[in-house]
Amino acid sequence: MRILLLGGTGEARALAARLHPDYDIISSLAGRVPDPALPAGPVRIGGFGGVAGLRQWLGDNEISAVVDATHPFAATMTSHAAQVCAELGMPHLVLARPPWDAAGAVRVGSDVEAAHVVADQHYSRVFLTTGRSGVAPFTSSRAWFLIRVVTPPDAVVLPCNHEVLLSRGPYDYADECALLRDNRIDVLVTKNSGGELTEAKLRAAADLGIAVVMIDRPALPAGVHAVGTVDEAIDWVARLAA
Ligand code: NAP
């Protein structure tokens, strides 16, 4: 049994470290960041070329199961994997870390809606943590933005008042408090990514009385089997192998 592990997350790396070398796995990364943290075991990097490319690749590489441990907002990859596995009748699991508790946050369905909330509420100092592809809806805002991204934003035009902070988590509570305070932030805009590595910003915002606008996750494709922890994913693989 050869398993494709769709990665790009801490959970995917933790899963690879637990499965390799007992199971025949190959991890896949999109190749978005120049120096990715590599998972244990064999790794391939780069897109498959859409649904057709993925179908071809699975056949060429004699894959018999797919575990999708991509980020909860990597909806295109998740949709492609679900579609191809359903077509091929291939065992398929989604490992999606539990979402954060959004109580107290303004919940929105997209980054565009988040930009509307920022404008409507007249927030003036925004901590924007929606990733490099999540900046474009804010470009016409007059507010000041602290844009924290791992790699530079995709948007050609950025908000007229901004600072880009290139950094990669994990982040701790004390540093997040200091960042929010030093930059006089009045609203935090975040995806509901879940996970412990970047959760401290939420506790810091709550304790400092800073508003939070949280973008809900895209829905999983209908009918997929999903688990929330690495342990559950290991159990699924072990049952499949047995
Ligand atoms: P996406 O929008 O769902 O996917 C866009 C395209 O990127 C896919 O159609 C696929 O290209 C390629 N791709 C994505 N994940 C891949 C993987 N693990 N292996 C090979 N190809 C992959 O994905 P995204 O939101 O840009 O995220 C890209 C990667 O960054 C993912 O692996 C994800 O786990 C990680 N990540 C994403 C976020 C986020 O907020 N979205 C945050 C942290 C990490 P083809 O169609 O050519 O196959």
Kindly report the CATH number assigned to the domain that includes residue 84: 3.40.50.720
User: What pLDDT shows up at residue 156?
Assistant: 84
Confidence (pLDDT) at 227: 98
Share of the chain above pLDDT 70, in %: 100
Q: 29 C-alpha vs ligand 1 centroid, how far in Å?
A: 7
Q: For residue range 6-53, what is the model confidence (pLDDT) as tens digits?
A: 999 999 999 999 999 999 999 999 999 889 999 999 999 999 999 999
Residues 81 and 15 in one domain: yes
Structural domain of 201: 106-215
Residues 44 and 113 in one domain: no
Say whether both 111 and 211 belong to one domain: yes
Average pLDDT over residues 47-70: 98
**Alpha-carbon dihedral 72, 67, 44, 30, rounded to 10 degrees:** -20
**Distances in whole angstroms, Cα of residue 184 to Cα of each of 146, 162, 174, 204:** 10, 13, 15, 13
Q: How far is the CA of 32 from the centre of ligand 1 (A)?
A: 8
Ligand 1 pocket, Cβ-based, cut-off 6 angstroms = 6-9, 28-30, 32, 47-50, 53-54, 70-71, 73-77, 80, 131
* 209 and 223 inside one domain: no
The answer to whether residues 117 and 85 belong to one domain is no
Distance of CA 76 to the CA centre of its chain: 12
Whether residue 172 is found in the same domain as residue 231: no
**8 and 45 together in one domain:** yes
Q: How many domains does the chain have?
A: 2
Residue 58 has pLDDT above 90, yes or no: yes
Same domain, 168 and 193: yes
Which of 9, 66, 71 to probe ligand 1 with, by most ligand atoms within 8 A of CB?
71
Closest ligand 1 atom, residue 130 Cα: 40
Kindly state whether residues 120 and 209 are assigned to the same domain.
Answer: yes
**Structure confidence at residue 34 (pLDDT):** 86
Is 147 in the same domain as 127?
A: yes
Residue 174 and residue 227 in one domain: no
Q: Which residues contact 70 (CB under 8 A, 6 or more apart)?
A: 6, 7, 8, 9, 12, 77, 78
d(CA 213, CA 191): 8
| Whether 151 and 227 share a structural domain | no
Mean pLDDT of 144-171: 94
